[in-house]
Chains A and B, each alone.
Chain A
Amino acid sequence: NAGVTQTPKFQVLKTGQSMTLQCAQDMNHNSMYWYRQDPGMGLRLIYYSASEGTTDKGEVPNGYNVSRLNKREFSLRLESAAPSQTSVYFCASSEWTNPHNEQFFGPGTRLTVL
């Protein structure tokens, strides 16, 4: 089992460019999440998908869109990248959004916006 995989691992963008971060899980989990991690701010939830076909905003959704493509895959899109979106992005999944269910994290995507 690969667990949660993310692509790409690293990316450099110029201001205004767009890109999509990909995430896939092979644990048959229903819920998936996108976080960003910044120095001094900790991990913050951008968007989540409680189950296939649903998506909801988290703490910091502005500037991002998401797509739950199927049960396995959850993508994060930056339509017009800004330097403030320079961060490390983590995808996670859990059986359900129930707090009892452990969230499993991917290895992260390091994004730099110039």
Chain B
Amino acid sequence: QKEVEQDPGPLSVPEGAIVSLNCTYSNSAFQYFMWYRQYSRKGPELLMYTYSSGNKEDGRFTAQVDKSSKYISLFIRDSQPSDSATYLCAMIQTGANNLFFGTGTRLTVIP
């Protein structure tokens, strides 16, 4: 079993839709949770970062962590064509140096 599972999609939505992206994980020691955005043929860039359980909001983006269910989500409100990218979840435990990534979900927002 992989440490981190992520539905690869692809996911296609109309402009303005609310998008929900999710990851599950098996290691209960993970404490730090990130979402990266990767445009085609580019390197990933950090979008959101959350420590432990709870919600974090940044503009149109909301990250949620439910440690009891080992489940994290990224919500994108009022999605834009510029949001079209692959979204990668990543997580790491305290004291570790190895980030574990999901496989990524490819999102297309149609104008």
CB distance from A42 to the nearest CB of B (A): 4
Task: Tally B residues with Cβ within 8 Å of A.
Answer: 24
**Contact-residue bracket for chain A:** 20 to 34
Chain-B contact segment, one of A12-20, A64-72, A77-85, A101-109: A101-109
The reply to whether B94 and A103 contact each other, CB–CB distance below 8 Å, is no
Pair B97/A43 contact, Cβ less than 8 Å = no
Report chain B residues within 8 Å CB of A48: 97-98
Pairwise interchain contact B44-A50, C-beta atoms closer than 8 A: no
The residue that A56 contacts in the complex, of B31, B32, B97, B101, with Cβ under 8 A, is B97
Residues of A within 8 A of B44 (CB): 43, 90, 105
Residues of chain B whose beta carbon lies under 8 Å from any beta carbon of chain A? 4, 6, 8, 31-32, 41-46, 49, 88, 90, 92, 94, 96-99, 101-104
User: Could you write out 20 A-B pairs with CB less than 8 Å apart?
Assistant: A40-B8, A40-B103, A42-B4, A42-B88, A42-B103, A43-B44, A43-B88, A43-B90, A43-B99, A43-B101, A48-B98, A90-B44, A92-B43, A99-B96, A100-B32, A103-B46, A105-B43, A105-B44, A105-B45, A108-B42
Taking Cβ atoms with an 8 Å cutoff, the residues of A that contact B are: 4, 40-45, 48, 50, 56, 58-59, 90, 92, 97, 99-100, 102-108
